[in-house]
Amino acid sequence: MQRLTPVLMVMGAILLALPARAQLMLPGSMPQSAPTSVAPPAGSAPGAGKPRSLNGDGQPVATAPSLRPPGEDAVAGRQLQRNGATGVMAIDKTAGGLEISRLVFAGYQISRPADACRVEVGGGASVHLTPATRSQGLLSYDAELAACPFSLDILDGAARVRGKSCDFIAADCRVDPAGVWGPPGAGIGAEEGKNIEHARSKAESEARATFRALLAANKQNRARIKEIAHEQAIFSSIREEICRDYASEDKHGFCASRITMAHAVALSAELHGPSPDAASQPPARKKRPPKPKPVATAPIAPPLQ
């Protein structure tokens, strides 16, 4: 063993003389500088835990976020005007739900259609709003008003009213409740207009994404694809028709932004079903016979400031 010692010493000296970067490689080993990959924990793969829309074949398709419709707080405590110019609709939130604390219609005389008239419903008494079946994903309510029944859908800071013209014979006044009831158009400034434009742009982007996801989800249903494409193609025309009479619409675009947001919610409701906050609206109740409301008339007054 003593004769091997010099040999071992020579081998040690040779190893020390090798460049520092040289490394001993064993069969099957990996160099230190080689990148390593670590398998992610179970359930942490991209998209894990997120619901995915499936087409008719059970295959995943393009998805879009589920949009929540505006809630009751979006209109509670506000005084709205039809097309941002006429009438008054003051909506309040009480323990019993939403109600219209003041409702004034502006219209035209039945006997002399060229002359304007004004009707204050109930003489200041409140009109209860009964939760109804959702309208294209939006929270919807029926107004308990025998003289002029209508329904309204809640928008962001506004209400889309659906109803027919009504005749108040005693007041010789014919009114049309339908339209977008929102803030006075003349009072919307340039700075607020920028926020409105931003909201509209965001809603249009959401609507496009949901539209594409709907097409993918219905790729096996050619008839429905045609319907979806047609509805999307004519939407801008429908929006123009709804909003063309809104006061100063060309300056601020308030009505167009709210109708675009409603369109995005409607597409989302079809793609995803009821929104996550669907339980926030009480179930629709059976209508009870409304009590007659007295009608008071007054001369036309200027719009609220």
Inside any domain, residue 263 = yes
Whether residue 225 is predicted with pLDDT greater than 60 in this model: the reply is yes
pTM for the whole thing?
0.71
196, 152: one domain: no
CA–CA separation, 290 vs 296, rounded Å? 18
Domain around 153: 72-185+281-297
Task: Please return the burial class of 156, using the count of CB atoms within 10 Å of its CB with bins 0-12, 13-18 and 19+.
Answer: middle
126, 202: one domain: no
Query: Between 51 and 198, whose confidence is greater?
Result: 198
Whether residue 12 is predicted with pLDDT greater than 50 in this model: the reply is no
- Please state, for a pLDDT cut of 70, what percent of the chain lies above it: 69
174, 218: one domain: no
Q: Which of 56-65, 196-205, 238-247 has the lowest mean pLDDT?
A: 56-65
Whether residue 55 is predicted with pLDDT greater than 60 in this model: the reply is no
pLDDT band for position 57 (cuts 50, 70, 90): low
Residue type, 205: S
The predicted-structure confidence for 69-104, as pLDDT tens digits, reads as follows 999 999 999 999 999 999 999 999 998 899 999 999
Angstrom distances, CA of residue 50 to CA of 65, 133, 184, 201, 206 = 11, 28, 42, 26, 19
Inside any domain, residue 51 = no
160, 195: one domain: no
Inside any domain, residue 264 = yes
Residue 13 is predicted with a pLDDT of 42
The predicted-structure confidence for 244-276, as pLDDT tens digits, reads as follows 999 999 999 999 999 999 999 999 999 998 665
244, 163: one domain: no
The predicted-structure confidence for 274-301, as pLDDT tens digits, reads as follows 665 544 455 455 445 444 444 444 444 4
176, 198: one domain: no
Task: Please return the burial class of 288, using the count of CB atoms within 10 Å of its CB with bins 0-12, 13-18 and 19+.
Answer: exposed
pLDDT band for position 58 (cuts 50, 70, 90): low
Inside any domain, residue 3 = no
CB 182 within 8 Å of CB 78: no
- The domain tally of the chain equals 2
Task: Please return the burial class of 79, using the count of CB atoms within 10 Å of its CB with bins 0-12, 13-18 and 19+.
Answer: middle
Inside any domain, residue 159 = yes
Inside any domain, residue 248 = yes
Query: Between 210 and 26, whose confidence is greater?
Result: 210
Angstrom distances, CA of residue 202 to CA of 195, 261, 273 = 11, 9, 21
Whether residue 160 is predicted with pLDDT greater than 50 in this model: the reply is yes
- Please state, for a pLDDT cut of 90, what percent of the chain lies above it: 63
3-state secondary structure of 205: helix
Reported for 53-56, long-range contacts at CB under 8 A and 24+ positions apart, including other chains, are 53/213, 53/216, 53/217, 53/271, 53/272, 54/217, 55/216, 55/217, 55/218, 55/219, 55/220, 56/219, 56/220, 56/221
Q: What average pLDDT does the segment 126-143 reach?
A: 94
Inside any domain, residue 18 = no
Residue 236 is predicted with a pLDDT of 96
212, 245: one domain: yes
106, 178: one domain: yes
The predicted-structure confidence for 188-202, as pLDDT tens digits, reads as follows 998 999 999 999 999
CB 69 within 8 Å of CB 139: yes
285, 218: one domain: no
Q: Which of 2-16, 51-65, 145-159 has the lowest mean pLDDT?
A: 2-16
Residue 276 is predicted with a pLDDT of 54
288, 170: one domain: yes
The mean predicted confidence, pLDDT, of the chain is: 79
Inside any domain, residue 157 = yes
170, 287: one domain: yes
CB 120 within 8 Å of CB 298: yes
222, 235: one domain: yes
